[in-house]
């Protein structure tokens, strides 16, 4: 990507906001392409990863998509999912009860 139109007035805060907004718009591009390809309106977006801990970013994403975001309770759910799957394969725990760690979280509604 490219950032155009920078002047001496651009502060680190402005650059940080631009970087965060670029994440939102890239996700929106993929989200809307998925809707177009499937011919269906997606009701929500489930989000995980460390960026989901930024409430401002998540609110902006919900606002741009005009869909609720379902934020999982564990930010790094990919690592948790891999651990749960490995434990299930090894017989350490059962899917129903122990996989509940992947459920819950919070919902961010669009404004």
Q: What is the 3-state secondary structure (H, E, C) of 6-17?
A: CCCCCCHHHHHH
pTM given for the model = 0.79
Q: Which residues, given as ranges, of the chain have pLDDT below 70?
A: 1, 94-103
- Residue 46 CB neighbour total at 10 angstroms: 13
pLDDT for the residue 105? 85
Q: In what order do the strands lie in the sheet with 45-47?
A: 45-47, 69-71, 106-108
Identify the bridge partners of residue 108 per DSSP, sorted by sequence position. 69
pLDDT for the residue 25? 97
Strands 69-71 and 106-108: antiparallel
Per-residue pLDDT tens over the stretch 66-81: 999 999 887 777 887 7
């Amino acid at each position: 990507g490219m950032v155009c139109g920078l002047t001496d007035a651009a502060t680190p805060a402005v650059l940080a906001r631009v970087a965060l907004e670029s994440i939102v718009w890239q996700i929106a591009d993929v989200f809307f392409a998925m809707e177009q390809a499937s011919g269906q309106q997606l009701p929500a977006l489930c989000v995980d990863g460390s960026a989901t801990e930024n409430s401002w970013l998540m609110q902006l994403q919900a606002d741009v998509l005009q869909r609720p975001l379902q934020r999982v309770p564990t930010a790094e759910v990919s690592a948790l999912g891999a651990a749960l799957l490995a434990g299930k394969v090894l017989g350490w725990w059962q899917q129903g009860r122990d996989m509940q760690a992947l459920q819950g979280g919070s919902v961010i509604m669009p404004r």
